[in-house]
Amino acid sequence: MGVKEKRARYKEEFRRDILGAAREFFIHEGYEKFSMRRLAEKIDYSPTTIYLYFKNKDDLLFAICEEFFGHFSAQLNRIRTVLPRDPVETLRQALLYLMNFGLENPNQYKLIFFTKSVYGTREELVERGSMARNTYFAFKEMVQECINSGKLREVDVEVMVDTLVIASHGLIAKTIYGAAVPKDRSGIVALTLVDALLIGYRK
């Protein structure tokens, strides 16, 4: 690509292009292989150019995570509106979807939940207005509804949400870092885990 064509672009468009290339790269090759220099090579620009559109590596990775959290959040709301009858079943489906999302996007899940640098502290998260915050509240509401409807025990809501999210975190961590578990086995484990928990919380 010549210099001329490289130039005639709008800032926003180019930012999206970089993000797209980064997403592709990151999803397919994972956190370990991802580097700014290699990304630069892929998009055929010098490494420093990326810094004109993203503050730093974390900023770029954050953008990738937010994209996917956006998709997740949207789907989560769909689940909540489609299955409004039984709050426990809604919560169950939401949890299974979270797990499935993690199993299908392990690199993003890893980045979002198993990395400190990208998402920082809870305060920074709130300040940045991250999507992650939205989904947390969504789960909190779902749990609250289950308790209000009298179907689950009156355990502290935040503690209960934590335990449920923790179950998902653990599953993904084990799948990512543990031995190469066949995906259908993860599915069975996910089901068993969620059901055991929800039975355990049943009134």
Partner DNA sequence: CTCTAATATTAACAGCGTTAAGTAAAACAA
Partner DNA sequence: TTGTTTTACTTAACGCTGTTAATATTAGAG
103 contacts which partner out of its own copies, DNA, none, CB within 5 to 8 A by kind? Answer: none
CB of 71 to DNA, least distance (A): 25
Q: Which is nearer to DNA, 117 or 148 (CB)?
A: 117
16 binds DNA (CB under 7 A): no
């009858």: which residue's tokens?
Answer: 85
- The b-or-e profile of 26-57 (16+ CB within 10 A means b, else e) is beeeeeeebebeebbeebebeeeebeebbeeb
């672009």: which residue's tokens?
Answer: 9
**Quick one: which of 21, 27, 58, 169 contacts DNA (CB under 7 A)?**
58
36 contacts which partner out of DNA, its own copies, none, CB within 5 to 8 A by kind? Answer: DNA
179 binds its own copies (CB under 8 A): yes
Report the 3 state secondary structure along 135-146. Answer: HHHHHHHHHHHH
Contact residues for 189 (Cβ-Cβ < 8 A; gap 6+): 171
CA–CA separation, 161 vs 165, rounded Å? 6
26 binds DNA (CB under 7 A): no
137 binds its own copies (CB under 8 A): no
9 binds DNA (CB under 7 A): yes
Q: Which two tokens stand for residue 98?
A: 């979270």
Interacting residues toward its own copies by CB under 8 A: 32, 113-116, 119, 121-123, 125, 155-156, 159-160, 162-163, 165-171, 173-174, 176-180, 188-189, 192-193, 195-201
